[in-house]
A and B are shown apart, each in its own frame.
Chain A
C-alpha cells in the first residue's frame, strides 16, 4: 500500500512526513524523524514511556497511528526546555535525583507537565494517580512525586 503524506507541527516546527498506513506515531517520531527522546517501553499503552501531547491531549504515541496526526500539533520531550533554560519540572527532577536510569523520565516529564497545566496545585494523591500510567522501575516513585510537587510549588510562585 502506498504511503500517506502527513503535515504536522512538532514542538512548534512545521514537519511533513510519509508513513505506512500501519506505522505508529511513535515509530514515525523515532525511526523517521529521529526524535528519540520519546521511548518505547511496551508498545501497548501500558508503560507511558512514549507519552506526548497531541493537540494538547496527553497520549501514548504507540497507540496513535502516524496517519492520524495529520494537521495536528505535537509536543515531545525535545520541545520542553526553552533553549538552554530547562523547564522547572526538568530542573526539579535533577535537584531531587528523581531519575536513576532515566528511560521513563521523558514520558513522566511530559505527563507531569500536562498535569500541572490542568491542575497547578495537585495533592500528592493527585500526582500519584495522574502518573499511574507511567511506569518507573528504578526509583519507587518517591523522588519523582516530590520533584513534581516541588516544581508545581515553584511554578505557582
Chain B
C-alpha cells in the first residue's frame, strides 16, 4: 500500500472506465422494484383527502359515513396522531396531515385504507370536512407586508429586522469590505430586481410506500426515498417509536433531486396500518405530487454590482427574499452564501429573508437556494459586460475566485477549479462559433458547496474472494457502479468481482441522505477506507501463514506479497487464496469504515448556451449547449456526464417554461405535466459535457461531488442568451413564450 493517504496521482485501472451498472438489466427489463412496485398478502390500498382551500380553519371532520362503506378498513385524521394531543407536533407532521388549519391547497386532512383503490377513492367522497375559509397569500413580496394575512404564527426568529409581517421568519447576512467605497470606485453600476417562480423537482416516480405496523410498536416500511435513515428518524418521532423498532427498506428510486429527502405520506400509511392491522400501500397521484410535495422556493431579489471600465468588479450587493411555503426553511441562507461565490471581491454583502406563504412546504431541489441568487448576479454581470463592451468570459476570469480567495460567505477557498473551467470554456469551439440573426449566446458560472456527512460502509470478503459492499445511500444515478469501482480499484481486482448493495436501516449504522452531492465523495471515501481495513486484515492473515511480521507483507494487484527482499521468498497469495483459507486463519474477513466525512470540496461549473428567439411567437429554442465542470476525479465518466447533462436540462426547463401558477383563489392552476411543462426530447439539442479533473485534496482519489452544480448556471446562461438575442434585458423567470412576446411587442411599441 502506498504510504500516502491520497493516491490520485497514480495510474488507475478501474477508476475512469465505464463499466455497466449493477442494477442495469433489472432497469431495462422492468424487474427493478420502485416504491409502488411491492405487493404483499392481505395488503390494503390507501388514498388521501386534501384541502381544496389555501388557508382554512378545520371546524370538524366527519368520517362516519366513509367508515361504513363496504371494504373500508381504516380512516385516519390528525386525531389519530398522539403528538397532536401531546402538543408536540413537528413541522414535518403538521405538513403530513393538517391539524387545526389547512395551510395550502392540497394539504392532507384525512386518509382511508380499503380493499381496493376504487373503494378508497369512493370513501374519500363520504368524508365531510367543515372549513372556515381564511384570507391567504401566495406571493413572497405580498406576504412580507405588514397587512398580509399571517400564514403560521410563532416562527419569527429574534434577529429578523422590524417592519415586516409575522410571515418573515428568519434573516441572514454575509459579506465583507466597504460597499460604499466599492461602488464609488465603479465606472458603471447596474441594479435590478429579479423574480423566479417555484419549480418542482419533477421526478417521474410519485412518492410511494408500503407500511406494516403491529400493535406492539414494531413496523416495517418500504418506500422510495433519498434517505431511509432520515425517514426512520422522522417517522419514529411522529409515531412515538424507538428507532430500532422501525425498519425502513429503500426501494429503487425513480428520481428525487432533493424532493425525496423528507417524508410526506409515510406516517399516514403507518397510522392506517396500525389502525387496520394490515399492510397498507399508499401511492401519490401526480396532482398530489405537485400540490403537496416540493417544490423549491420562489424568489424576489435585488442585485447591485459596480464595475470599472476595464472589468474589475468593485462591489456586489444582493437582497434575497425567498418564500418556501407555510413552514420556515433555511434555503435563503444558502442563496445568500452562494450568490457571489464565483468572485474574488473586496466588497460584498448579501442579505436574505425567509417568508411564509400559503403554498406547500418547499423541499430541497438540487443546490437549493443557489440557482435563484446566482441567476440574478450572473445576469447583472452579463449586463455590465455588454454595456461596457467587455468579453463576459474574460471578465469572469479576471474576477474569478481561486485558491486563497476569501469567499463572499466567509471561508477561504482551497484548490478550486473555477479558472481552469473558465479557460476550458474560452478554448472550446463553442465560444467563438458564429451566431445568426435572432440568436444569442449566454454564459454563466455556477457554484455549490458539496457535503460529506455521516457514512458507514461494510466490505465483506466472501470465501471465493469476491467482494460484497454494503452501503446505506439510495442510488439515484448510478452510484452503485462508482462505489464498486472504487472498491475494485483499491483492492486491485476487477469490477465484476464486486457487488454493492444498499442496506435497510437495521443492517448498517446511520447514513445521511443522498443529497449535497455527497454519495460518490463520502460513500466512496468510506469504501476505500473499508477496503484498506480489509487489506490490512488480509496482510495479517498472510503473515500468519508465512510466519513473518505483519509489516513484512504488503498488498499489490489483488495479492499479498513480501514487502521486500528481507521479508523472505514467498509466492504472492491472491485474494481468492486468502479468502479460501480465512476460516482457518481466524474467521471471515471484512473491512468497515464509519466516518463523518469532511473535505467535500466546493464545486464550480460554467455553461454556454446558444438560443434562437422566434420574434413572432416569443418561443425560445436552445440551439447549442455546453457544460464545463470540475469533477475532481470522474469515477464513472458516463454518470458524471449524466449529472452535468441532466442538471443543465432541469435548469433550462426552469429558465424557459416551468413555474407554479396560482390563481386569485390561492389554488394551484397547473398541477400536471401538461401544464407544468418540463423539457421534452424535441425541445433540446445534445448537451455537450466537458469534464475537468482538478483533484479534491479531501478525497483519496480526488473526487468532488458533481450532482448539483449543473442546475445552477442554466438560469442565467439562458437569460443572458435570450437578452442578447432580443436586446431586451429580462429579469423574470421563466422566459415563457407569452412573457417574451409581450416584451418584444412592448419594445416595438416603445420604438
Task: List A residues at the B interface (Cβ < 8 Å).
Answer: 20, 22-23, 27, 30-31, 34-44, 46-47, 49, 76-78, 80-81, 86, 90, 93-97, 99-106, 109, 125, 127-129, 131-146
Residue of B nearest to A136 (CB): B204
Instruction: Known contacts A46-B672, A102-B252; decide if A97 and B681 are in contact (CB<8 Å).
Output: no
Do the beta carbons of A101 and B205 come within 8 Å of each other?
A: yes
Minimal beta-carbon separation of B357 from chain A (angstroms): 25
Q: Are A142 and B28 in contact (CB under 8 A)?
A: no
Q: Determine if B371 is an interface residue (Cβ-Cβ < 8 Å).
A: no
Q: What chain B residues lie within 8 Å of A95 (beta carbons)? A: 20
- B121-154 contact mask (Cβ, 8 Å, vs A): 1 or 0: 0000000000000000000000000000000000
Q: Is B277 an interface residue (CB 8 A)?
A: no
Per CB-CB distance, the 4 closest pairs between chain A and chain B, nearest first, are: A37-B30, A103-B254, A140-B649, A102-B27
Contact between B681 and A100 (Cβ–Cβ < 8 Å)? no
Quick check: A137 and B34 within 8 Å, CB to CB? no
Stretch at the interface among B105-113, B380-388, B441-449, B638-646: B638-646
B118 at the interface (CB under 8 A from A): yes
Say whether B255 faces chain A, with CB atoms less than 8 Å apart: yes
A79: nearest residue on chain B (CB-CB)?
B30
Tell whether, in the assembled complex, residue A139 and residue B30 are in contact, meaning their CB atoms are under 8 Å apart. Answer: no
Q: Report how far A71 CA is from B123 CA in the complex, Å.
A: 33
Q: B680 on the interface (CB 8 Å rule)?
A: yes
Q: List 15 A-B contacts (CB under 8 A).
A: A30-B36, A42-B286, A42-B672, A42-B673, A86-B25, A90-B28, A96-B638, A97-B478, A97-B636, A103-B255, A131-B680, A133-B680, A140-B646, A145-B681, A146-B686
Contact A141 B25 (CB under 8 A): no
The answer, among A23, A35, A40, A137, for a CB contact under 8 Å with B118, is A23
Inter-chain contact B28/A134, CB cutoff 8 Å: no
The CB with the most chain B CB atoms within 10 A, among A31, A40, A90, A100, is that of A100
Q: In this assembly, does B399 line the interface, its C-beta being within 8 Å of a C-beta of chain A? A: no
Is B285's beta carbon under 8 Å from chain A? Answer: yes
Is A104 a contact partner of B204 (Cβ separation < 8 A)?
yes
What are the residues of chain A within 8 A of B257 when measuring CB–CB? 137
CB–CB B254/A128 < 8 A: no
Of residues 641 through 669 on chain B, the ones whose CB sits less than 8 Å from some CB of chain A are: 641-642, 645-646, 648-650
| Interface flags, B266-299, vs A, CB<8A=1, else 0 | 0000000000000000010110000000000000
Cross-chain contact B30 with A78 (CB below 8 angstroms): yes
User: Assuming A77-B29, A94-B21, A137-B650, is B204 touching A128 (CB within 8 A)?
Assistant: no
Q: Residue on B with the closest CB to A108?
A: B681
Q: Hey, which chain A residues are within 8 Å of B674, CB to CB?
A: 44, 46
User: Total contacts A to B, CB within 8 angstroms?
Assistant: 188
**Chain A residue with the shortest CB-CB distance to B253:** A101
Cα-based distance from A106 to B27 in the complex (angstroms): 8
Taking CB atoms, residues of chain B closer than 8 Å to A80 are: 29-30
Query: In the docked arrangement, what's the CA distance between A41 and B203, Å?
Result: 9
Q: Mark B37-70, 1 if CB is under 8 A from A, else 0.
A: 1010000000000000000000000000000000
| Chain A: minimal CB distance from B39 (Å) | 6
Indicate whether A36 sits within 8 Å of B29 (C-beta atoms), given known contacts A94-B21, A100-B478, A138-B477.
no
A128 and B477: CB pair below 8 A?
Answer: no
Q: Closest A-chain residue to B26, C-beta based?
A: A102
Q: Is the interface of A mostly helix, strand, loop or mixed?
A: loop
Once the chains are docked, how many angstroms separate the CA of A137 from the CA of B256? 9
The answer to whether A43 touches B646 (Cβ under 8 A) is no
CB pair B202 A137 closer than 8 Å: yes
- A138→B649 CA distance, assembly (Å): 9
Judged by a CB distance under 8 angstroms, whether B308 is at the interface is: no
Contact B646 A137 (CB under 8 A): yes
Chain A residue numbers with a CB within 8 Å of B256 are 101
Residues on the B chain within 8 Å of A96, using CB: 638
A-side contacts of B686, CB under 8 Å? 142, 145-146
Give the shortest distance, in Å, between B371 (CB) and chain A (any CB). 16
Determine the distance from Cα of A127 to Cα of B686 in the docked complex, in whole angstroms: 12
A99 touches B204 (CB 8 A): no
CB distance from A126 to the nearest CB of B (A): 10
Cβ contact of B684, chosen from A76, A94, A128, cutoff 8 A: A128
Q: Say yes or no: B638 contacts A143, CB within 8 Å.
A: yes
For the complex, give the distance between the alpha carbons of A135 and B532 in Å.
42
Question: With A46-B674, A94-B20, A143-B645 known to touch, is A40 a contact of B29 (CB < 8 Å)?
Answer: no
- Whether A44 contacts B204 by the Cβ 8 Å rule is no
Q: Given B27, B476, B680, B682, which contacts A105 in the complex, CB threshold below 8 Å?
A: B27
CB proximity of A83 to chain B, nearest CB, Å: 11
Task: Report A-chain residues with C-beta under 8 Å of the C-beta of B36.
Answer: 30, 36, 39-40
Query: What A residues does B203 contact at CB under 8 A?
Result: 101, 103, 137
Enumerate chain A residues within 8 angstroms of B253, measured Cβ to Cβ. 101
Q: Judging by beta carbons under 8 Å apart, are A86 and B28 in contact?
A: yes
Q: Considering the chains assembled together, what is the distance between the CA atoms of A152 and B738 in angstroms?
A: 38
Could you tell me the distance in whole angstroms from the C-beta of B543 to the nearest C-beta in chain A?
42
Query: Roughly how many angstroms separate A44 CA and B20 CA in the complex, as a whole number?
Result: 34
Chain B residues near A102: list those with CB within 8 A. Answer: 23, 27-28, 32, 252, 254
By a CB distance below 8 angstroms, the chain B residues around A81 are: 29
B678 contacts chain A at the CB level, 8 A cutoff: yes
> Most chain-B CB neighbours within 10 Å: which of A46, A78, A97?
A97
Q: Flag if A36 contacts B687 (CB, 8 Å).
A: no
How far is A44 from B673 in the complex, measured between Cα atoms in Å?
8
Closest residue to B686 on the A side, CB-wise?
A142
A94 to chain B, nearest CB (A): 5
Q: Is the CB of A127 within 8 A of B673?
A: no
With a cutoff of 8 Å between Cβ atoms, the chain A residues found around residue B283 in the complex are: 40
User: Is B31's beta carbon under 8 Å from chain A?
Assistant: yes
B18 at the interface (CB under 8 A from A): yes
Contact B29 A101 (CB under 8 A): no
Q: Does B588 contact A (CB under 8 A)?
A: no
With contacts A43-B286, A47-B673, A135-B680 taken as known, whether A20 is within 8 angstroms of B687 at the C-beta atoms is: no
Q: Please determine whether B646 and A139 come into contact, CB atoms closer than 8 angstroms.
A: yes
Bound: A26/B32 CA distance, A:
17
- Is B24 in contact with chain A by the CB < 8 A criterion? yes
Bound Cα distance A133, B678 (Å)? 11
Distance in angstroms from B681 CB to nearest chain A CB is 4
B6 interfacial by beta-carbon distance below 8 Å: no
* B residues near A22, Cβ cutoff 8 Å: 118
Is B33 at the interface (CB under 8 A from chain A)? yes
Q: Check B286 against A78 for contact (C-beta < 8 Å).
A: no
Instruction: Report the bound CA distance from A37 to B142 in whole Å.
Output: 46
B20: chain A residues within 8 A (beta carbon): 94-95
Q: How far is the CA of A129 from the CA of B680 in the complex (A)?
A: 9
